Structure 1
Amino acid sequence: MRVARIVLIVVVILGGLFIAADRIAVSVAENRAANQAKISEGLSSKPKVSIEGFPFLTQAAFGKLDEVKVTANDIAAGDGDQTVRIENFHADLHGVKLSDSYRRAVADSADGLAFITYADLTKAAPSWLAISSAGPAADGTSRVKLTGTWHGAKLSVLSEVRVKGDDKIALHADKLPTAITALGLENEVRRQIDFTVQLNHLPAGIGLTSVTTTPDGISVAASGKNVVLAN
């Protein structure tokens, strides 16, 4: 009985040491992945990387992690002079293959969600235009409200916001006021209020899929396969 108790104590201690070693190892791996993701994507701050599942060492030994969660805040996205701030981005990556001493990580598949406030979306629009919530649409489309003063004329219209390609969101206004269309100025106005914004600095391999409006901003969903977390 005493020998059995001694063996049990040893097993418990060894198990505790393994758990401690496993947690230390996963912490190191998460930190390395976060640092490399920051460098690869040109982020201003290091994202949070969380490796799910236990034990990590067993997963790492086979070179593949079951699931990795990535959260990044305050991302500057855009193309050229037009930029937009992504308040936060979260991605769930599944089947992450590790290589090159954790400097490279590629997921079999991934799903993500980026959130942009109306205030930040307004900053990406022409200076005279403000973007706000339009409330729920009866037809289920995602719309925002555009308001402003254009050459002394008040403008207030609804605009559909949707995904364009793999990495852009586009705004397209509904019918413009008669005061503008009657003067033949619709095309000139639309050149300013119908615009696109590119969302770069997202993991390579993820493509935008849909946009949902909320009272505070827009949520942009993304998904993909063979998604590069770090390279």
Structure 2
Amino acid sequence: MRALRILLIIAVVLGGLFVAADRIAVGLAESEVAGKIKSTQGLSANPEVSINGFPFLTQVAGKELDEVDVTMDGVTASSAGRSLRITEMTAELRDVRLENNFSSATADRATGSAGISYADLSTASSEGVTVSYGGRDQSGKSQVKVTARVALLGRSFERSVISTVSVVDGDTIRLRADEIPGAGIPGLENLVRGKIDFDREISGLPQGLKLDKVVTTEKGVDISVVGDGVKLAG
């Protein structure tokens, strides 16, 4: 009985040491991945990285991680020659393969979300255009309110319209006005639409991620993202 108790104590101690070593290794790996993502995406601060699943060391030995969650702030994408700031992006990556002697990693699939404030969306729009919350139409489509000031025949016109916002081709945000108030004035509709109807292709996101759906909220535009073969680091 005494020998059995000693074996049990040893097993508990060794188990505790293994768990501790495993958690330390996870922390070091999360820090390393965060640094790589910061460098790759040009972030001002390290993102939050969580490597899930236990034991971690066994996953590393198999060169595949079950799940990695990443939260990034201040991602800047390019859009039609203008920079577009994404306030926060989250990504849940599954089946992450460790490659090139652990210097890079690729996730088989990923889901997540990205947020863009109306102020940042206005900055990425044409000059003199502001974008704000427009609610949803009767069918549930997301809408924004777009205000533009234009000059025509020596007169200044300001028009506010409700535009539908959507995702096109997995990389483009599209705004289209349903109707232009005062469109009976010759040339006014084309002039206003030239400012407020636009497509903004978003580039600079992590390789492999694509825009999926867009929803408007009072604070900004929320975009869901999906991807296959998403490059996590390297």
Report the TM-score, using the length of structure 2 for normalisation: 0.92
Could you tell me which runs of 5 or more consecutive residues in structure 2 were left unpaired when the two chains were aligned.
Answer: none
The match for 2:189 among 186, 189, 199 is 186
How far apart are 1:101 and its partner, in Å?
A: 3.8
Name the CA distance, whole Å, in 1 between partners of 2:184 and 2:12. 79
- For the residue of structure 2 that corresponds to 1:135, the secondary structure is strand
- For the residue of structure 1 that corresponds to 2:195, the secondary structure is helix
Within 5 A, what are the aligned runs for 1:58-97? 58-79=58-79, 81-97=81-97
Name the CA distance, whole Å, in 1 between partners of 2:169 and 2:42. 22
Name the CA distance, whole Å, in 2 between partners of 1:24 and 1:101. 20
Name the CA distance, whole Å, in 1 between partners of 2:124 and 2:56. 42
Q: Does residue 162 of the first structure (1) align with residue 166 of the second (2)?
A: yes
| Equivalent residue number for residue 104 of structure 1 | 104
How far apart are 1:72 and its partner, in Å?
A: 0.1
| Equivalent residue number for residue 230 of structure 2 | 227
Deviation per residue, 1:57-81 (Å, 9 max, x gap) = 0111100011110110011111464
Identity %: 44
1:77 and 1:198 in contact (8 A); partners too = no
Q: Which moved more, 1:10-19 or 1:141-150?
A: 141-150
Report the TM-score, using the length of structure 1 for normalisation: 0.93
Could you tell me which runs of 5 or more consecutive residues in structure 1 were left unpaired when the two chains were aligned.
Answer: none
C-alpha RMSD of matched pairs (Å): 1.6
Name the CA distance, whole Å, in 2 between partners of 1:9 and 1:181. 87
Deviation per residue, 1:60-110 (Å, 9 max, x gap) = 110001111011001111146411110000001110001234321111110
Deviation per residue, 1:87-137 (Å, 9 max, x gap) = 000001110001234321111110120011112112212332221111232
Q: Does residue 25 of the first structure (1) align with residue 25 of the second (2)?
A: yes
1:82 and 1:197 in contact (8 A); partners too = no
How far apart are 1:41 and its partner, in Å?
A: 2.3
1:32 and 1:103 in contact (8 A); partners too = no
